[in-house]
Amino acid sequence: MPRITLIEHNGTEHTIDAKNGDSVMTTAIRNMVPGIDADCGGACSCGTCHVFVDPAWVDKVGEAGPFEEPMLDLNPERAQNSRLSCQIDISDELDGLVVRLPEFQF
């Protein structure tokens, strides 16, 4: 079972078990990690599950998709390693993944 780590803006780390096929967002919500709102419930249409992927994992996680890109692009905090966590699917490949949470969702 893959394990992933989410780091809150204040530095608090949450290392949690994840299931293949779930998204990082649903995994975080299920484990009550604060800092992810996911207002649209995972439809890639609100931008409130924004995370920064640890630089070491950017290649494995991959780039934002065509629907995700416009949502990310409207976020003033958007960075090179920004992703919407509802669009990152857990797989064995991502065992050990580290993402950081922004101070605020927008």
Partner 1 sequence: METVVSKHTSRSLVGRDPWTIPLEEIDLAHPGIWQANEYLPFLARLRRDEPVHYCANSAVGPYWSVTRYQDIMTMEAAPHIFSSEPTIGIVDVLPQYTLPMFIAMDPPKHDDQRKTVQGVVAPQNLKNLEGLIRQRVITILESLPQGATFNWVDLVSRELTTQMLATLFDFPFEERHKLTYWSDVATAIPGAGLVNSYEESFEILKECLAYFMRLWQERAAREPGNDLISMLAHGEATRNMPPMEFLGNLVLLIVGGNDTTRNSITGGVLALNENPQEYQKLRENPALIPSMVSEIVRWQTPLAYMRRTAKVDTELGGKKIKAGDKLLMWYASANQDEEAIERPGEFIIDRPRVRQHLSFGTGIHRCMGNRLAEMQLRVLWEEILPRFEKIEVMGEPTRIYSSFVKGYTELPVRIIPR
- Under the binding rule (CB under 8 A), the answer on residue 26 touching partner 1 is no
Q: Which is nearer to partner 1, 71 or 94 (CB)?
A: 71
Establish how many alpha carbons lie within 13 A of residue 11's alpha carbon, considering only the half-sphere containing its beta carbon: 0
- Under the binding rule (CB under 8 A), the answer on residue 1 touching partner 1 is no
- Under the binding rule (CB under 8 A), the answer on residue 45 touching partner 1 is yes
95 three-state secondary structure = coil
- The mark string for 51-70 relative to partner 1 (x by CB under 8 A, - otherwise) is ----------------x--x
